[in-house]
Amino acid sequence: MQRDPRAFLWDVRESSLAIQSFTAGMDAAAYATNEMAQSAVERKFEIIGEALNQLATLDAALAARIPDLPQIVAFRNQLIHGYSTVNVSTVWNVTQNALPPLVDVVQSLLDELGTA
């Protein structure tokens, strides 16, 4: 049975909101010294990248509406496979600058698609 594309979008939204919760009240310096927050954030980015990768396989047209999807999946691959060293400041910058627009796009798509 094929998974509903909305489930992948939901995974992205929920993981994104969790990242925002994990980093609330932190600045870059606090994040850089908090190994538990770093691990939690990286894990949620892995989930986001995998969900978007699966969405692209299931519904390419819907996935194409998510800006920078290939870069998001590549970021996930870097985190998991260590193709290149992803430093703490890079993860922090992605969290602060790229994540909020992603949440907005994904929420908009979920609103458009409605509930099951």
Q: What is the pLDDT of residue 90?
A: 93
Q: What is the token pair recorded at 65? A: 């509406």
Task: Name the token pair of 102.
Answer: 């992603």
- Residues 116 and 113: their CA atoms lie apart, in Å, by 9
Closest by Cα among 63, 91, 95 to 78: 91
CA dist., res. 79 & res. 85, Å (int): 8
Q: Cα 30 from chain centroid?
A: 21
Q: Which residues of the chain have pLDDT under 50?
A: none
Task: Answer whether 41's CB lies under 8 Å from 16's CB.
Answer: no
Q: Would you say 19 and 47 are in contact if contact means Cβ atoms under 8 Å apart?
A: no
Q: Quote the DSSP letter at residue 40.
A: H
Return the residue matching tokens 């949620």.
Answer: 44
pLDDT of residue 67: 96
Q: Where are the chain's structural domains?
A: 5-113
